[in-house]
């Protein structure tokens, strides 16, 4: 697995709304309706993280959850970070956004 270039990171970021790059990490924060929603979301992401053996930094503050993704083995952002970011994004959109 290789560290992605700045151009590759920018191209991939354009595909997942709300994510940003800061200090060699992908970052996003979501505000949910309750602490229990945040904990449920965190548990879903932790299950996927175990499956792909790639673990995010998760910060929880009552009804806000923040994810920070980086691949320590390559010293930056890799395709694995974008794989997990996409899963997080899709899970949030499926379970925590209102139907229009």
Residue 43: give its domain's CATH number.
3.30.1360.20
Give the residue from 38, 18, 37 showing the smallest Cα distance to 26.
18
Q: Work out the percent of the chain whose per-residue pLDDT is above 90.
A: 94
Q: Is residue 15 included in any domain, yes or no? A: yes
Q: What's the total number of domains in the chain?
A: 1
Q: What is the pLDDT of residue 97?
A: 81
Contact 48, 58 (CB under 8 A): no
- Give pLDDT, residue 100: 52
Residue 66 φ then ψ, to 5° = -120, 135
Quick: pLDDT tens for 51-98: 999 999 999 999 999 999 999 999 999 999 999 999 999 999 999 986
Range of the domain at 51: 6-96
* Residue 1 domain flag: no
Residue 12 counted as domain residue: yes
**Residue 60 counted as domain residue:** yes
């Amino acid at each position: 697995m290789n560290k992605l270039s700045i151009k590759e990171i920018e191209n991939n970021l354009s595909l997942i709304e709300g994510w940003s790059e800061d200090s060699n990490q992908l970052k996003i924060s979501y505000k949910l309706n309750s602490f229990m929603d945040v904990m449920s979301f965190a548990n879903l992401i932790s299950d996927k993280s175990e499956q792909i053996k790639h673990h995010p930094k998760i910060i929880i503050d009552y009804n806000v959850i923040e994810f920070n993704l980086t691949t320590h083995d390559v010293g930056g952002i890799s395709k694995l970070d974008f794989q997990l970011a996409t899963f997080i994004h899709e899970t949030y959109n499926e379970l925590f956004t209102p139907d229009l």
